[in-house]
Every structure is written in C-alpha cells, then in structure tokens.
Amino acid sequence: MQTNRSTFGPLALYFAVAFGWAWAFWVPEALRQMGVIEIPEPLVGLHAEGQPAAWGPLIAAVIVALVYGRSQGLREPLSSLIRVRFSPWYYLVAIVLLPAIVGLAQLAAVIAGENVPPSPAFAEPISIPVSFVFIFFLSGPLQEEAGWRGTSTRLFQQRIGALWASLVTGLAWGLWHLPLFFMEREDIYYNRPFLGLLISTVLLSVLFTWVYNNTRQSLFAAMLIHTSWNWANYLFTGLLTDTGGLTFMILLAGIVVLVVIRYGPRTLTAPGMR
C-alpha cells in the first residue's frame, strides 16, 4: 500500500489545507466553549454551518488542482462537477438509498418502543424539498466532495485501489469533524460518540466512491448522494436512538459488503466502467 511520488505531493497539500483551514476556525471555538481560551466577540460563531470553516476541502481541492493540474488546472474538476449524464440507476441510488436505510432504522426504533424525537421536516412539509436544495449548496456536499472524492479518493485509488482509498478517505473525513464534538451548539455532534461518526464516514465513503466511480467520476453524483445522506438525517431522527443507530450501522455495513463483493474492491465499478 504505497503511494507514488506523483500522488504524495498533491495528497499532502490537500490534507494540510483541508484540515488547516477548517481547524483554524473550529479548534479555537472548541477551546473557547471548553473554557480554555477567550475569543473576541466578533469572531465567535465563525465555525457555524455555511461559514468559512466548512469550505476547507473545496479550497484545498482548488489549490491542488491549480498547483498540480499543470495546463488543465480547474478544467477537469469543473467538468466533473457538471457531469450529469449517467445511468438513471445511479440517480436512484444517490437520491433514495440512504434515506431508505435511515427510514428503516427509524422504523426499527419505533417497533422497539424507543422514544424517537419528532422530525422538524415533517412538522413543516414545505421544508422537505427546499432543504434538499439548501443542503446541496450550503450544508456539506458542495463544500466537501471536490476534496474527499474528487481529490483524496481519486488520487489514493490510483495506487491502492478504490476500497482502500475509500477507507483511508473515510477515516480522514471523520477525523476532520473532530473539533465539532466539543462545541455545544453543534448538537448533532456534541456529547455523541465520535467512534460512531468515524465508522459511518468509513462505510459511507465506500458507497460514495461506488457512485462516484460508476458515474465516470462525477462530482455532481457524489454531491447528490452526500446531499441525500444529510437530508435523510433531517427527515428522520431515529439515528438519535440506540436501536436506530445500531440498525443503521448493520444495514449500511451489509450494503457495503454486497457492493464490494459485486463490484470488486479494486475499482468498485461495473465491468463496463473499467
């Protein structure tokens, strides 16, 4: 499992910028909330969703493309971003698969008699389609996928294959969120088990790579499945329960195993895409 010199430089630069940019905002805020340091009032809250920190992976991807892209520069990333012509099957997978899994996990929690928190989405149904568009552009996918799939996974899989590239990227993706677990205002992370997020990002990374690779490395497709993941967590609150969380992990792991067996660990692609 060795990366060659041609990928080491871009990967090192990507991770340095992606983590450095985000953590420069998040770590001081986490330390402030823990009472370790004080931050001037105008700077408080810069970690909030949609603020500068979340754009670290995209900024890092752009810098890597400009520094190492030679004459192409941003041409390939931009082309990948608007690559919207691919099999309807992967549109279906990208939009439906993860909400279906999360919905089933919530159903399991309800059957088990757990106290599932009410969903803000179904309390205000008009927000359901609007939230999908909002999430796509401002709540993760646009800020992150050019980095995690379009740079990290793409470069790693040239040397270590798609599965290992997905696992390594998933670990980094999870670790990138670490400071959020120390911020009270980040209620989906604060006081929750970090290991749960890490396992989720590793497994999700395999599915995201599967969709990304089978759509001719379409960043649009990667953003679509990332959006559906965040959207599913807005629609359903069952993952906040023990039964829901456990059921989700089992279902997700099972699907990942089936994908790896069916498509092969080296490329995670159908024969016609290799």
Res 6: pLDDT:
84
Q: In this model, does residue 226 exceed pLDDT 80?
A: yes
**How confident is residue 1, by pLDDT bands cut at 50, 70 and 90?**
very low
pLDDT in tens, 175-224: 999 999 998 877 788 778 899 999 999 999 999 999 999 999 999 999 99
Q: In this model, does residue 267 exceed pLDDT 80?
A: yes
Res 274: pLDDT:
62
**How confident is residue 250, by pLDDT bands cut at 50, 70 and 90?**
very high
Res 115: pLDDT:
95
Q: Taking the CB of residue 195, how many other CB atoms lie within 10 A of it?
A: 9
Cα–Cα distance measured from residue 30 to residue 47, given in angstroms and rounded to the nearest whole number: 9
Res 2: pLDDT:
40
Q: In this model, does residue 47 exceed pLDDT 70?
A: no
User: Residue 21 is encoded by which pair of tokens?
Assistant: 């940019």
Mean pLDDT along residues 22-34: 90
Q: What's the distance, Cα to Cα, between the start and end of the chain in Å?
A: 21
